[in-house]
Structure 1
Amino acid sequence: MGSFPSGRVTRRAIIKGALAAPLIGLAVSTFDPPRAAAANGKLIDFTELQVPADQIAAAGYTGALVYVSELRPGATFDFKPVTRKYADALRALGLQVVSCYQYGKPGWPTPSDFTRGYDGGVADAQTASRLHAAAGGPDTAPIFFSIDEDIDQSTWKSVAVNWLRGINSVLGVERTGVYGHAGVCKWAIADGVIGQSTTPGYRWAWQTRAWSDGVRAPAAVLYQRVIVTASDPGISLGGSHVDENDILAADYGQWDLDR
């Protein structure tokens, strides 16, 4: 991922050393969609390499957040964008799938997505919608768009909210979700740029513990509690390291739920 300028450190730093375990996805062409999982389970999200579906199931997770974004130039992740084959493998094992989007990152030639404003939001939503559909994602499920750095309210009001409004113009507010710290989640709710879960009182907010200073956004459907950093490798799974997310609502944006 490279180094980051002072003051712009992201939540995911490089893990030293390469992980060489082979990753083999399950090829599944047909399946019966599982029933939606209840709240209080856990999802993983990928930080280094894609974890085989059977290993996610064996570890007892409810499912995974998958990326409906292109791989930025110079990155080597094998989980962007998610493929139909991999999504089918997860679902065939009864695992739940949730879509998220992140292309740019601070310190790279491709900066954080939100910095590109309204027009960038339009373009990002178009890409996310295309890749989500190609992987088998339904047009009723939300997509969570990442604000993966410590922004303040001034930056939110001047730049980030306009990016989300661009996303709204393509997906509609009802399918727009956001990832970020507690403030980002609360500002997105207050400004009406993210949709509502079918679980009363919850919105499409995926809160990270990073930069939240112990504050919780009570309407968030997901909480990223374990985060891979340079000093903490997170959860070891499938020859890789993953973040772990608590499910806080029965409807947290999973594909296999009638809405």
Structure 2
Amino acid sequence: MQDSPGTTDPRPSHPISRRDALRYAAAVSALAGFGVAAAGTPTASAAAPTLIDFAMRQLAAQDIRAAGHSGVINYVSTSRPGSSFGAKPITLPYAQSLTAAGLVIVSNYQYGKPGGTAPSDFTRGYAGGVSDARTAWQLHTAAGGGQSAPIFFSVDDDIDHNTWNTVALQWFRGINSVIGVQRTGIYGGINACQWATADGVIGRSRSPGRVWAWQTRSWSRGQVHPAAVLYQRVVSTESNPGPVVGGLPVDVSDVLAQDCGQWNLHP
């Protein structure tokens, strides 16, 4: 990456109401114009609809649309000590401008990072997960995020299974205790996405067979988790910058499911 609600039932969602079904159909129709067929399941490819993520500053909705992207994955976290990222956290006026332009929004939490001025979030254990979930939910809802929309919490590192079991898993369980499993998602490489799915700490998309996994190409060995809803195909770095939108290099993620956790499907 660039840089208190009650708990919910972690079991698969119940059948949705007619009103929610109509809202879902409308959102699917909007995404269909970017390459998602209503009856099909997109794959990780340049033909899929794309969402961008960025941290340095807010990008104008018209620039995002002009670049051909269907929305953003934006932070519901603040900047680390010693940094000041203009896109962290997403604000209500900015979210409203994106929505008015027909763009979708997905929420992501990342405060610390490896080698940064704050340690990687997943290292903070159960209590850290509780604290991070409270912060994420407050910023998400303040910006107008949907009450049932997921937040993707970042494991922005190449961890092994032992680190997952002894450290990261406890962090996710702390998150679950605050916002519930169904509103919890993960950002990470293929292994972390698979472990989170197997251990039942992330929720399920309304798209059949999909879970709240936003997989990055980093640490994924060219593989794509079949249950992921998003795949970060372009990771912008100083040495290999991503495509430029509004004067800023961005990360690009393919949308792999009609329900990828966008706010307008989860009011």
- Smaller-chain TM-score range? 0.7 to 0.9
Counterpart for residue 100 of structure 2: 92
TM normalised by structure 1 equals 0.85
Q: Deviations over 1:2-21 (max 9, x none)?
A: xxxxxxxxx659xxxxxxxx
Cα distance in 2 for partners of 1:227, 1:67 equals 16
Q: Which residue in 1 is equivalent to 2:219? A: 211
Residue 187 of structure 1 aligns to a residue whose secondary structure is helix
Match in the other structure for 1:236 = 244
Corresponding position of 1:153: 161
1:225 and 2:233 aligned = yes
Corresponding pairs, count: 230
- 1:116 and 2:129 aligned: no
- When residues 258 and 66 of structure 1 are mapped into structure 2, their CA distance, relative to the original with a 3 A threshold, is closer
1:258: Cα distance to partner? 4.8
Contact 2:2/2:53, CA 8 A, preserved across alignment:
no
1:105 aligns to 2:113 (yes or no): yes
**Structure 2 equivalent of residue 184 of structure 1:** 192
- Kindly indicate whether the alpha-carbon contact (under 8 Å) linking 2:146 and 2:266 is maintained by their aligned counterparts in 1: no
Q: Which runs of 5+ in 1 are unaligned?
A: 1-10, 14-32
3-state SS in 2 of match to 1:220: coil
Q: What TM-score do you get using the length of structure 2 for normalisation?
A: 0.83
What letter corresponds to residue 208 of structure 2 in structure 1? P
Give the RMSD, CA atoms, in angstroms.
Answer: 1.6
- 1:64 is matched with 72
Shift of 1:47: 4.0
Residue-by-residue CA offset, 1:144-191 (whole Å, 9 max, x unaligned):
000111111111011001100000001100000000000000000000
1:170 aligns with 2:178: yes
Counterpart of 2:147? 139
Return structure 1 stretches of 4+ with deviation > 4 angstroms: none
In the TM superposition, residue 137 of structure 1 has moved relative to its aligned partner by 0.5
Question: Structure 2 stretches of 5 or more lacking a match?
Answer: 4-22, 37-47
Q: Secondary structure in 2 aligned to 1:202?
A: coil
CA contact (8 A) 1:65 1:100 kept: yes
- Paired residue for 1:127? 135
**Cα gap change, 1:258 to 1:157, in 2 (>3 Å):** closer
CA shift, 1:230, in A, is 2.7
Distance 2:62 2:2 in 1: 25
Per-residue deviation at 1:76? 2.3
The whole-number CA distance in structure 2 between the counterparts of 1:150 and 1:244 is 20
For residue 76 of structure 1, what is the aligned residue in structure 2?
84
Whether the 8 Å CA contact 1:48–1:241 is kept in 2: the answer is: no
Matched-pair identity in %: 58
Quote the Cα distance in structure 2 between the aligned partners of 1:232 and 1:12: 13
1:253 maps to which of 244, 258, 261? 261
Partners of 1:69 and 1:258 in 2: how far apart? 20
